[in-house]
């Protein structure tokens, strides 16, 4: 699927830039074996960060109701 430009979004500074995301070896092996991505439940994420999943103030200001 091709990416279509949008007037409200700025393109990234360097289209060839790499995004690195680190994970431990057991999680990486699970990913390869299952050929699937793992997504934690939101209630598990809030233990580490109580604001996980909340809208930012700017998002709330911009979002029409």
Say how many CA atoms lie within 13 Å of 21 toward its Cβ. Answer: 3
Kindly report, residue by residue over 16-43, the tens digit of the pLDDT: 777 677 888 898 899 999 999 888 887 7
What's the whole-model pTM score? 0.38
Q: In this predicted structure, what is the pLDDT of residue 35? A: 93
How does DSSP classify residue 47? Answer: T
CA angle, corner 53, sides to 50 and 58, nearest 5?
A: 105
Count Cβ atoms below 10 Å from residue 45 Cβ, excluding itself. Answer: 14
The token duo for 3 is 């990416």
Q: Residue 63: is its pLDDT beyond 70? A: no
Q: Residue 1: is its pLDDT beyond 70? A: no
């Amino acid at each position: 699927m091709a990416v279509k430009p949008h007037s409200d979004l700025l393109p990234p500074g360097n289209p060839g830039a790499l995004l690195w995301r680190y994970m431990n070896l057991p999680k990486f092996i699970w990913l390869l074996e299952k050929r699937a991505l793992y997504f934690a439940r939101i209630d598990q994420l809030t233990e580490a960060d109580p604001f996980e999943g909340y809208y930012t103030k700017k998002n709330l200001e911009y979002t029409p109701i």
